[in-house]
Amino acid sequence: MMQTARLGRTGGQDAGSLRQRLWHARWSYLFMLPALVLGALFTFYPMVASWYISFLDWSGLDSDRRWVGLANYREALGDAAFWDAFGRTFAFTLVAVPVMLVLALLAALALNDQALRMRAVFRTMFFLPVVTTTAIVGVVMSLIMNPFDGPLNSALLTIGIVDAPIDFLGDPNLALWSVAGVFVWKWMGMSMIYWLVALQTVPEQLYEAARVDGASRWRTHRHITVPLITPFAIIIILVTFVGALQTFPLVQAMTQGGPAFSSELVEVYIYRLAFAADSTPRLGYASAVAVFFGLTVLVLTLAQAWGIRRAGAFKRDIGGAS
């Protein structure tokens, strides 16, 4: 009986404590409310709507909607144009991401050197393209790469590297990789910041001990830096990989998927189906393609969450050891 009474008091105290915590945190929840409402309106609702529309045969222009079940998904599985765009998307990603990560790591290693002067200025210069609007970057880079009066071709001709202007965005063999180069330049600063954060978790005492032992910079990075930032590298690679799958603004601003669909990635293909098709738009089929592609990104996001947990445990172990 007494034990039951104690359990009742404990349960009441826990409930009272929970109510007190919620009351004390009321302003925090209130300040979070606008972000939650906007997130629900502009993220959750479009996701649910796209999922529902993917089961319809609907142009989006009228009220004539016909339920077709999984027909759109079956069509996507046999759509050569979709798989071409899908393959280009991952080819773009598998080339752009490693190049970006390597260049960003080299920049981070240089900017993490305490002896380097004006480090803040260089970091700002690297990060400036990140905060520049993607559409503006695409338009400006298109003008720079113009084969007739663009400064890039003028410089190459003046130096003597080429004998004739190069149509970077008009050649089907070059358009996608020209966009990839601009993508790397724009987002390298973000990856550099990620690498800098990882590098700054390495205890400085280890570098001092390596210098005392006479280790070269190469051996120091090989035996100290690389092993200690490897768990963070998993996160950085996954975050960058997922980000590289979202290239619509840049491609749309530079090539609109051309020439001859040579730079049409999945997001551009979805846009063309839903809003810019030559015939009647196919919003239902475009939604099915978007859901399929979104599931691919979701799988990568789950892998990213797993990597974050691993890195967090590793960081706690390092903190406890030091």
pLDDT at 2: 47
List, as one string, the DSSP characters of 180-205.
HHHHHHHHHHHHHHHHHHHHTTS-HH
Q: Which of 34, 35, 38, 56 is nearest to 46 (CA)?
A: 38
Contact 88, 265 (CB under 8 A): yes
Q: Which of 187, 192, 167 is nearest to 177 (CA)?
A: 167
Residues 6+ apart with CB under 8 A from 146: 153
d(CA 78, CA 305): 32
d(CA 8, CA 116): 64
d(CA 71, CA 176): 31
pLDDT at 321: 54
Q: For residue 92, give the amino acid letter.
A: F
The upper half-sphere exposure of residue 112, i.e. CA atoms within 13 Å in the direction of its Cβ, equals 22
Query: For the chain, which ranges sit under pLDDT 70?
Result: 1-16, 277-278, 304, 307-309, 311-322
Helix/strand/coil for 57: strand
Q: For residue 321, give the amino acid letter.
A: A
Contact 194, 167 (CB under 8 A): no
List, as one string, the DSSP characters of 109-126.
HHHT-TT-TTHHHHHHHH
pLDDT at 237: 85
d(CA 289, CA 270): 7
DSSP state of 170: T
pLDDT at 311: 64
Q: Which of 19, 111, 90, 47 is nearest to 267 (CA)?
A: 90
Both tokens of residue 152?
């890039």
Tokens 């202007």, residue located: 165
d(CA 176, CA 259): 9
Domains along the chain with CATH numbers? 2-48 (no CATH), 74-321 (1.10.3720.10)
pLDDT at 232: 85
Instruction: Considering only CA atoms, give the Rg of the chain.
Output: 26
Residues 6+ apart with CB under 8 A from 81: 261, 269
